[in-house]
Amino acid sequence: MIDLFNEILATLRFNKLRTALTGFAVSWGIFLLIVLLAVSNGLVNGVTGMFSQRDKEVMSITGGWAQKPYKGLKDERSITLKESDTELLESRNGNIVAYAVPELSNDSVVISTQKDYLTGGYKGVYPQSQRSDGTTMEEGRYINDNDIEQGRRVIVLHRENANTLFGVGEPAVGKFVRVGDLSFTVVGIYFHEWMRSSIIPYTTAKALAGGSENIRRMQVKAKGLSTVEDANEAENEFRSTLGNVHSFDPTDDSALWIWNRFRDFATTNTALSTLTLAVWIIGLLTLLSGIVGVSNIMFVSVRERTHEIGVRRAIGARPVAILRQIILESVAITTLFGYVGIVLGVIVTQLIAHFTLSPGPQGHPPIFKDPSVDLSIALQVTVVLVITGCLAGLFPALKSLKIKPVEALRDE
Average pLDDT on 111-128 reads 93
Instruction: Tell me: pLDDT of 44 over 80.
Output: no
pLDDT band at 361 (very low <50, low <70, confident <90, very high): very low
* pLDDT score recorded for residue 120: 85
Of residues 322 and 118, more confidence is placed in 118
Locate all alpha helices (DSSP H) within 167-260, ordered by sequence: 202-208, 228-246
* pLDDT score recorded for residue 363: 44
Closest to 191 in 3D by CA, of 18, 25, 343, 366: 366
Closest to 43 in 3D by CA, of 269, 243, 215, 222: 269
Count of other CB atoms within 10 angstroms of residue 123: 22
Percent of the chain with pLDDT strictly greater than 90 = 38
SS3 at position 102: strand
- The tens digit of pLDDT for each residue in 147-179 reads 999 999 999 999 999 999 999 989 999 999 999
Task: Please indicate, yes or no, whether the overall pTM of this predicted structure exceeds 0.85.
Answer: no
* pLDDT score recorded for residue 362: 47
SS3 at position 374: coil
- Which residue pairs from 350-353 have beta carbons closer than 8 angstroms and sit at least 24 positions apart in sequence? 352/35, 352/38, 352/39, 352/42, 353/38, 353/42
* pLDDT score recorded for residue 368: 67
Instruction: Tell me: pLDDT of 45 over 50.
Output: yes
SS3 at position 258: strand
**Cα–Cα distance, 249 to 253 (Å, whole number):** 9
* pLDDT score recorded for residue 411: 52
Q: Are 219 and 129 in contact (CB under 8 A)?
A: yes
Closest to 27 in 3D by CA, of 372, 331, 343: 343
Average pLDDT, the chain: 82
Closest to 108 in 3D by CA, of 123, 94, 93: 123
- The tens digit of pLDDT for each residue in 314-352 reads 676 677 777 777 777 777 777 888 888 888 888 888 888
| Chain centroid offset of residue 240 CA | 33
What's the N-to-C CA distance of the chain in angstroms? 29
Q: Are 77 and 155 in contact (CB under 8 A)?
A: no
Q: Would you kindly state where each structural domain of the chain is located, as residue ranges?
A: 2-53+266-410, 58-261
* pLDDT score recorded for residue 155: 97
Instruction: Tell me: pLDDT of 365 over 70.
Output: no
pLDDT band at 266 (very low <50, low <70, confident <90, very high): confident
Question: Which amino acid is it at 253?
Answer: D
**Cα–Cα distance, 257 to 16 (Å, whole number):** 68
**Cα–Cα distance, 170 to 157 (Å, whole number):** 13
Average pLDDT on 374-391 reads 75
Three-state SS annotation for 26-73:
HHHHHHHHHHHHHHHHHHHHHHHHHHHCCCCCEEEEEECEECCCECCE
pLDDT band at 405 (very low <50, low <70, confident <90, very high): low
